[in-house]
Structure 1
């Protein structure tokens, strides 16, 4: 039995450090939910405290201000993508299949994950946030460039299209698609709109014989 398990058994209570980590995550999840729903400017620390069922002072214990929450949410969003690529990359998928599987999963995540939705909205509202946020889009372009380079080596990328250009087009198209879906339909049609984009754009970049 580990010392953590022993502490929990002995005291009957969750260790203070673990409780703090869990509470911080709960506050951040709630902030993401509200940022996604209302936007950055229309969400206050009081709103977050009330929804999470804490005092404002308790929220400030975990985050010094709203800007710190925004940064943490955007960073959390970017941390998810390498893990997602690791999940979809399997020996039975060629580069084309890996790109499609990654983007399919990404579209589903944008449809359902409040942290991802919040981070995307925060990036679009970055002029309202009085602190620099992590740079958007560049990480996605780099990640997809590497995958399109693999597709090019496998003879799957359409001849004459530079991998980085393909990556930029896909990222721009994907983020534009999800933004329009959000504005017009609160992302309820996002997966359908992704399927259209997938058919029109990815089929052209990665044609099947």
Structure 2
């Protein structure tokens, strides 16, 4: 178990180092040597977990959710909002998430498949919007696949704009403004009236998700100990 824990810690240290280097230097300019120096690990330790710089970048892209999820909400539009504001809060507070987003949007990262996060976000939004439609939360004209693409694409653009103008400091307000413009065109007004779009919502959902993750991990540990 100690060996396994050590391997997990080493992998995490490598990812955190890669996040710092990728965020500062960009994918093309970053080198394995810089990441090794930042992580303080051997080349063998790095290649045990990641076969190349590309695999390391893909590993970082896979870490965007960090195990944090929004609990199911009775109102699926609130769940859509909570998914977006949770990620917004984490983007403002986590270097690993910021680096992952930079990789996703880095058009100079030739040879790197950056489609994964877009596909995952698109599928998640489509699923939630279909549920919202089944519950009668959406206006009759809405095509959920189109709305999902608009949400994902416009959110990516708002992220890039906020990064360029304020290093994400104003991202919460920009996201709230984006949702206040898009949602009235797809959501029934009586439903939208009950949805919390406040700029403080992201921090609240983050704390809730952290508590739920800690409780789930504690339950797993107890189950392993009992077994």
TM-score (norm 1): 0.79
Q: Match for 1:169 among 150, 156, 172?
A: 150
Once the two structures are superposed, residues 120-164 of structure 1 have per-residue CA deviations (whole angstroms, 9 ceiling, x without a partner) of: 221223653435455341221121112111222222212201111
2:72 maps to 89
- Give yes or no for contact 1:73–1:119 (8 Å, CA) kept in 2: yes
Greater RCO, 1 or 2 (C-alpha within 8 Å, sep 6+): 2
The answer to whether the Cα contact below 8 Å between 2:36 and 2:46 also exists between their aligned partners in 1 is yes
Q: How many residues align?
A: 190
Residue of structure 2 equivalent to 1:108: 89
> 1:123-162 alignment to 2 at 5 Å?
123-125=104-106, 127-162=108-143
Equivalent residues of 1:63, 1:69 under 8 A apart: yes
Unaligned runs of 5+ in 1: 5-14
How far 1:181 moved relative to its partner? 0.9
Contact 2:80 2:128 in 1 (8 A): yes
- Partner residue in 2 for 1:19: 6
1:53 to 1:35, Cα distance in 2 relative to 1, 3 A:
same
Which residue of 1 is the match for residue 51 of structure 2?
64
User: C-alpha separation between the residues in 2 aligned to 1:55 and 1:82?
Assistant: 27
Q: Helix, strand or coil: the match of 1:135?
A: helix
TM-score after normalising by structure 2: 0.74
Unmatched 5+ stretches in structure 2: 191-227
Distance 2:149 2:112 in 1: 26
| Distance in 1, Cα, partners of 2:67 & 2:41 | 33
Q: CA deviation at 1:32?
A: 1.2
Q: Which has the larger radius of gyration?
A: 1
Kindly state the Cα deviation for residue 58 of structure 1 after the two structures are TM-superposed. Answer: 4.3
